[in-house]
Amino acid sequence: MGRIDVSMPLFEGMPAFPGDPAFRSAAVRRIDQGDPYDLSALALGSHAGTHVDPPSHFVPGAPGIDRVDLGLLNGPCRVLRVPDDRKEIGPEELRAVPQGTERVLLRTSNSDRWSHRLEYFEDFVALTPEGAAALRRGGVRLVGIDALSVESDPSGTFPVHHELLGHGVLILEGLLLGEAPEGEYFLECLPLRLRGGDGGPARATLTGR
């Protein structure tokens, strides 16, 4: 198995979490307009596309994206296939995560929907607070998911983010896992080094083990 790119492309019209800035790209220099090179100006949110949530995203004074341990974002990981009929991910759906797993990527029906069309949808499959606590207690230090948010929380209190980030567990959101069958992989993920950043757009890939 070769390298699988599981990161979302950045383009105008790409899906964005409600309230987040839309991605924009504007031409600054163009060869076809007589310039010696091409150059664009980009505008994007710190949580655009595939991105990492550092603790500072929800915990005041906690490390920002430029201070996270890159070792947590690179190493052996488990892709867990959540059955398509599950609308949320709780402890029951996570029983298949082997003990000692440090990095788990949750592949749900979100990836199948995104394989047909990259657009935002409100009824995305997400992690429950109980599921987050089970992963954290089991020693998981990085949780990835194929949605723009790891949780769907109508209360606006974000218990999943607080459970994970409050205990130093990093979150990797916006993954495209449609080409990654369940199993063991090596994850490579590097977020942009934004000084004091509350999030970091990233390129993420998987290779088989």
pLDDT at 31: 97
pLDDT at 154: 82
* pLDDT-above-90 percentage for the chain: 95
Question: What are the counts of helices (DSSP H) followed by strands (DSSP E) for the chain?
Answer: 3, 12
Query: Of 57, 161, 162, 167, which is the active-site residue?
Result: 57
Report residue 1's pLDDT band, with 50, 70 and 90 as the boundaries. Answer: low
Phi, psi angle pair for 130, to nearest 5°: -65, -40
Task: Of 85, 105, 88, 86, give the one whose Cα is nearest residue 97.
Answer: 105
- The tens digit of pLDDT for each residue in 100-130 reads 999 999 999 999 999 999 999 999 999 999 9
In this structure, what token pair is assigned to residue 137?
């207690």
Is the pLDDT confidence value at 146 over 90? yes
Mean pLDDT over 149-153 rounds to 95
- How would you classify the pairing of strands 170-173 and 24-29? unpaired
Distance (Å) of CA 11 to CA 7, 14, 41, 75, 209: 13, 5, 13, 28, 31
pLDDT at 114: 96
pLDDT at 155: 86
Mean pLDDT over 160-187 rounds to 97
- The tens digit of pLDDT for each residue in 21-79 reads 999 999 999 999 999 999 999 999 999 999 999 999 999 999 999 999 999 999 999 99
- Reply yes or no on whether 57 is catalytic: yes
Is the pLDDT confidence value at 99 over 90? no
* pLDDT-above-70 percentage for the chain: 100
pLDDT at 60: 95
- The tens digit of pLDDT for each residue in 124-137 reads 999 999 999 999 99
In the chain, what are the domains? 4-9+46-208 (3.50.30.50)
